[in-house]
């Protein structure tokens, strides 16, 4: 059956199968409770009332949320750097990249969290439609018209078509879900579902009908743009292919759900263990109508009369299952820590020739570094699309902080590097690179070019000492 404009493609459906678990975990305890049996199954023969009480008292250990926040934040622990090849106008626009007050650094930090959490999201580099109000670039400048970034979240991507052009895969169609705000009376608003269909050089917009089964309506007919490409760039968590990605923390998400279920079991058994059960042995039970038998009255001033050979006592839990549950939870939490930390474990790269392996860093990288480098490549494409909208030849490059081990390096080690250089034990280039690692120098500084320039610009001579100053020792 042919897809409708609002339908997800088979590729998106395959990725979307993993999204609900991440969405629920990132939504916290409230979202996990709302998901109900999806992530906290009801036990066989468990009464609905008991299950509801168990669900409403369950609490989430936010392992995925914390790990995602830490890992996605590492590349942004230092300011995003725009290269000197980025046009000045684009540098200015990046101070408010989305025209909602978010700088490019802040915008990309949210983008990285989305990509790592769900595997795929994107950026639409849009440009306002000004119609006849602007006929020249000068008119557009006066109106403040310029390209801006639109954050396209994982659930908005419905489907695409692509083809190979000049050896590179290019989008030939992209469908993005949107919402259109419509006034509802003097104070309220309602939202209508829309789908934007992008093609090279044009776009159109479809809107849902008045009723769920009504066909969708074309509300914006095909409208030409000045670009011959679709101005969309995908960003990946763990890239699986063009426009296909998976969260690098998906295994952690499954462990987190297991912890949610195990914690509920532990809370339940703790509740049972804390309430001892009063047992009477060798007494007459009540009759079918509830009368007769041994009557029991419990209280500080009450006297219990039992038949001969009868016994009465409190039955309590031995605690063995409680201790086993606690150990199981501790082990599970250790597994989650290890799984999250795997992103920082350096792993061997693909086999390379001796020439290709001159730089060991290229062959041995942690997953987070690989993700960050792929993110940088996508970000460079965004800058290029911004340039393309305003007929600039090049958009330039951006750099993110990638030396995640440098966070443990101290100022004292930076001084040690200078001492090693003064003693002639390391080169000037190594000195500059090590200071870059520690954030003492800009990330886009070229050590070789800087050393060459330094030879042409020697340091100034020290100022002469005052006439009465003591001679140096």
**pLDDT beyond 60 at 298:** no
pLDDT given at position 458: 78
Phi and psi at residue 161, to the nearest 5°: -130, 150
Poorest-pLDDT segment among 79-83, 108-112, 139-143, 307-311: 139-143
Distance in angstroms (rounded) separating the CA atoms of residues 436 and 414: 10
Q: Which residue has the higher pLDDT, 250 or 467?
A: 250
* Average pLDDT of span 203-225: 94
Q: Which residues contact 207 (CB under 8 A, 6 or more apart)?
A: 180, 192, 193, 194, 216, 217, 219
Phi and psi at residue 180, to the nearest 5°: -115, 125
pLDDT given at position 13: 97
- pLDDT tens string 39-94: 999 989 889 999 999 999 999 999 999 999 999 999 999 999 999 999 999 999 99
Q: Name 27's bridge partners.
A: none
**pLDDT beyond 80 at 343:** yes
- pLDDT tens string 323-335: 776 888 888 889 9
**pLDDT beyond 60 at 359:** no
pLDDT given at position 351: 46
pLDDT given at position 169: 93
pLDDT given at position 357: 44
Copy the structure tokens of residue 467: 């006439």
Assess contact for 97 and 148: CB atoms under 8 A. Answer: yes
Task: Using alpha carbons only, give the angle 435, 438, 439 rounded to the nearest 5 degrees.
Answer: 90
CA atoms within 13 A on the CB side of 180: 14
**pLDDT beyond 50 at 380:** yes
Distance in angstroms (rounded) separating the CA atoms of residues 356 and 131: 52
pLDDT given at position 417: 82
**pLDDT beyond 50 at 144:** yes
Burial of 290 (0-12, 13-18, 19+ CB in 10 A): exposed
Tell me 111's DSSP state. H
pLDDT given at position 297: 58
pLDDT given at position 442: 78
Residue 361 pLDDT level (bands cut at 50, 70, 90): very low
Pick from 230, 235, 225: nearest CA to 114:
235
The dihedral built from the CA positions of residue 417, 419, 421 and 423, taken in this order, carries a sign that is negative
Distance in angstroms (rounded) separating the CA atoms of residues 41 and 328: 19
Proportion of the chain above pLDDT 70, given as a percent: 77
For residue 404, count other CB atoms closer than 10 A to its CB: 17
pLDDT given at position 354: 44
* Average pLDDT of span 123-149: 74
pLDDT given at position 243: 97
- pLDDT tens string 452-466: 888 888 777 666 666
């Amino acid at each position: 059956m042919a897809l409708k404009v609002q339908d997800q493609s088979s590729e998106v459906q395959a990725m979307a199968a993993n999204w609900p678990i991440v969405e629920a975990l990132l939504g916290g305890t409230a979202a996990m409770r709302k998901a109900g049996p999806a992530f906290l199954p009801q036990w066989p023969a468990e009464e609905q009332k008991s299950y509801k009480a168990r669900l409403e008292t369950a609490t989430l250990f936010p392992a995925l949320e914390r790990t995602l926040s830490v890992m996605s934040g590492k590349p942004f622990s230092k300011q995003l750097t725009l290269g000197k090849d980025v046009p000045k106008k684009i540098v200015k626009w990046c101070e408010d990249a989305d025209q909602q007050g978010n700088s490019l650094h802040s915008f990309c930090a949210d983008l990285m969290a989305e990509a790592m959490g769900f595997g795929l999201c994107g950026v639409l580099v849009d440009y306002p439609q000004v119609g006849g109000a602007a006929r020249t670039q000068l008119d557009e400048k006066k109106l403040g018209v310029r390209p801006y970034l639109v954050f396209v979240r994982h659930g908005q991507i419905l489907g695409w078509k692509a083809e190979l052009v000049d050896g590179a895969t290019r989008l030939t169609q992209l469908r993005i879900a949107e919402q259109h705000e419509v006034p509802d009376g003097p104070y309220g608003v309602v939202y209508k579902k829309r789908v934007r269909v992008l093609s090279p050089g044009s776009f159109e917009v479809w809107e849902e009908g008045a009723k769920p089964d009504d066909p969708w309506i074309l509300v914006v007919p095909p409208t030409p743009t000045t670009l011959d490409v679709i101005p969309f760039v995908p960003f990946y968590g763990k890239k699986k292919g063009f426009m296909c990605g998976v969260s690098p923390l998906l295994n952690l998400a499954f462990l987190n759900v297991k912890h949610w279920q195990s914690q509920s079991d532990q809370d339940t058994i703790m509740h049972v263990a804390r309430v001892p059960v009063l047992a009477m042995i060798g007494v007459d039970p009540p009759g079918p109508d509830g009368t007769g038998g041994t009557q029991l009255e419990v209280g500080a001033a009450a006297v219990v009369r039992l038949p001969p050979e009868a016994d009465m006592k409190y039955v309590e839990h031995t605690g063995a299952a409680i201790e086993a549950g606690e150990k199981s939870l501790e082990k599970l939490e250790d597994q989650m820590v290890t799984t999250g930390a795997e992103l920082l474990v350096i792993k061997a790269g693909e086999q390379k020739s001796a020439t290709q392996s001159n730089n060991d860093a290229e062959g041995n990288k942690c997953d987070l570094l690989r993700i960050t480098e792929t993110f940088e490549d996508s970000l460079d494409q965004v800058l290029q699309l911004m340039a393309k909208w305003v007929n600039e030849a090049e958009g330039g490059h951006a750099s993110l902080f990638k030396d995640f081990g440098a966070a443990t390096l101290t100022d004292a080690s930076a001084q040690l590097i200078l001492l090693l250089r003064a003693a002639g034990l390391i080169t000037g280039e190594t000195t500059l690179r090590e200071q870059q690692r520690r954030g003492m120098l800009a990330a886009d500084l070229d050590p070789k070019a800087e050393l060459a320039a330094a030879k042409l610009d020697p340091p100034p001579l020290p100022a002469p000492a005052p006439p009465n100053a003591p001679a140096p020792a």
